[in-house]
């Protein structure tokens, strides 16, 4: 018997409802709460290229990025967690992340 459960492991995250100064921290927290194979469907009002760079630096290949929609009105991205059993979790290095999203508005990821 084949059971299709992929939709059960998709969690919505609408960044448009999160204050800009908290967005990246909230997204990192959401990603870190997901298990292998789970997916977060991210919705935003702009293409978050600086955020994608931070995710790549922070998690490497453990977070797969797939655009579902990329229009001027809305961007939808699926972030899927892919952690091999033999890979250790990435070390948190807050000092290295300060240049990107320290909450001071200098992350470069604004809706303008």
User: 3-17, 27-41, 81-95: which has the highest mean pLDDT?
Assistant: 27-41
Can you give the pLDDT at residue 100?
38
| Among the listed residues 102, 60, 90, the one whose alpha carbon sits nearest the alpha carbon of residue 52 | 60
Distance CA 81, CA 32 (A): 9
Q: In what order do the strands lie in the sheet with 75-81?
A: 10-14, 39-44, 75-81, 63-70
Model confidence pLDDT, tens digit, residues 32-60 = 999 999 999 999 999 999 999 999 999 99
CB 101 within 8 A of CB 107: yes
pLDDT over threshold 90, residue 88: no
CATH of domain 6-84: 3.40.50.150
Predicted confidence (pLDDT) per residue in 13-29, tens digit:
999 999 999 999 999 99
């Amino acid at each position: 018997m084949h059971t299709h459960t992929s939709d059960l492991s998709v969690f919505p995250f609408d960044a448009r409802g999160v204050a800009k100064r908290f967005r990246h921290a909230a997204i990192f927290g959401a990603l870190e709460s997901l298990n292998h194979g789970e997916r977060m469907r991210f919705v935003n009002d702009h293409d978050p290229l600086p955020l994608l760079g931070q995710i790549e630096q922070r998690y490497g290949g453990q977070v797969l990025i797939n655009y579902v929609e990329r229009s001027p009105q809305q961007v939808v991205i699926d972030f899927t967690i892919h952690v091999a059993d033999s890979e250790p979790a990435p070390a948190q290095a807050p000092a290295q992340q300060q240049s990107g999203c320290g909450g001071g508005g200098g992350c470069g990821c604004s809706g303008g």
